[in-house]
Amino acid sequence: MENKKIVKVLEPVVRLNGVRSVGVIGDPGCEGLGTYPMKVYAGALEECGRDSITLIVGDLVPAGTKHHYQMVQELTEALAQNAVYSLRGNHDTGAYSDYFGLKNYALLADGFAVVVLDNAMRTFEEEGLALLGQVLAMEEVERAVIAFHIPVPNHFIRNCVSEEEFDRLKQAYGPWKEKVNYLLCGHVHSRFEDQVDGIPLICTGGGGAMIEDVSKDIRACDVEHHVVHFYMEGGVLKHQIADLPEDCYSRERKDPVLRRELEETVQGELLAHFKYLMFADRAKRRGLDWIAALFRALAASEYYHARSFYAVLDRPAPFSDAVRTYVPGEAYEYGYFYKTLAEYARDHGAPLAEQAYTGAARAEKVHAALLEQAADLEHIRETEIYVCPVCGYVMAGEEAPERCPVCGGPKKQYEVYGGNAK
């Protein structure tokens, strides 16, 4: 396939006329190229479409095989809205250069330069450091961003190159330090800003990989997936971090035919998930542990398939509002839908169906009440939650009743969640 967006860099110095901004994506593919993380990457590419070019600061793939590079290449070509450059991360081994070219190079844009250095193996290559000095020595280069994958020593994390390696980098840019406006890196699946050697350091690793806790000061709950924009404004090189909404990509669900098929596929995968779990329980009761394990594994696989298809469809609300969005569905089920079907079943001599709908309606009413409580995130009361495995009734509180209020199932069978549950 002929590349149209991904640039395979063949010269160490690339002059880019008309480029006044760069969108930066960190670590899109190191945890796998499944639909779930790639939806974030797709949204990041769309967000970076507002810039002149896009730069990916490493870890495009989980492992450096041609198969993985081909996958990310095809996806990028289909979604990118501008030219895409890359630098090598520690996961980008093997055939990296076949797809992206040189590992050390410089982009000369309008008003600033981006110098890309390979430190994927936790060392800066001599040719890269030499190129850095060469570029900074150019009279036309007045401002520069030095980009690499693994962070240099900083005040937040220890997952970085050694002090000795940082010293080598400082020696390379030292004579022209006043030209270095930013140090830029990825690798850490989060983000932070710092000052090192008097230079702003921006670490961005939120372009696809799951956000993680990296220190007591940088917690996953405080960081969103994101990209970074670098741009010229008033003769000054500036940056802006742009959080990606959970609804960051929507192309597929706008196609009515594809949307319908995806919805049906999700239903089919979840039905298979449920059937496999039911059969696993049957096998377990008969002492066929390996068969039970097999069917639980198959059930898990079907769930993850459903998650991938649903990720394409999903249009989530902001998390702070998301809990309450589930309340109307629960209210409709217990207040009308299940009630109506229970009455129909009773009138048509179907007592088991009537029982199932009546019991489920009582449970759904509790669901709605618990969701209303959970929506108040600041004052949530974290008690234990009990589920009756016989009928699915949900109870919450310090103590559970000895018998399920709906079906009479014993307390000893309850499944316990939250609170002090293990």
Q: Minimal CA–CA distance to 152: which of 170, 140, 138?
A: 170
Buried b (16+ CB within 10 A) or exposed e, 44-64: bbbbbeebbbbbbbbbbbbeb
pLDDT, position 371 = 85
3-state secondary structure at position 85? strand
pLDDT, position 1 = 44
Tokens coding 40? 């974030």
Block means of pLDDT (10 residues each) for the chain, 422 residues, are 81 95 95 86 94 96 92 93 96 94 97 97 96 96 97 94 97 97 96 96 93 86 92 95 84 86 93 94 93 93 90 69 80 87 91 87 85 77 86 86 88 83 52
Q: Is-contact 32 62, C-beta < 8 A?
A: yes
Q: Cα–Cα distances in Å, from 329 out to 255, 258, 266, 320, 332?
A: 25, 24, 18, 18, 5
What backbone phi and psi angles, to 5 degrees, belong to 158?
A: -105, -5
Q: Is-contact 162 188, C-beta < 8 A?
A: no
Eight-state DSSP code of residue 121: T
Q: Which CATH architecture describes the domain 13-243?
A: 4-Layer Sandwich (3.60)
pLDDT in tens, 327-337: 888 888 888 88
Task: Show me where the domains of the chain are located.
Answer: 13-243, 255-316
Rounded distance between C-alpha atoms, residue 27 and residue 297, angstroms: 29
Sequence-ordered list of residues with C-beta below 8 angstroms from that of 33, at least 6 positions apart, any chain: 61, 62, 68, 71, 72, 75
Rounded distance between C-alpha atoms, residue 128 and residue 147, angstroms: 11
Q: Residues 16, 22, 23, 28: is their CA dihedral positive or negative?
A: positive
Compute how many other C-beta atoms are within 10 angstroms of the C-beta atom of residue 170. Answer: 15
CA angle 69, 78, 100 (to 5 degrees): 35
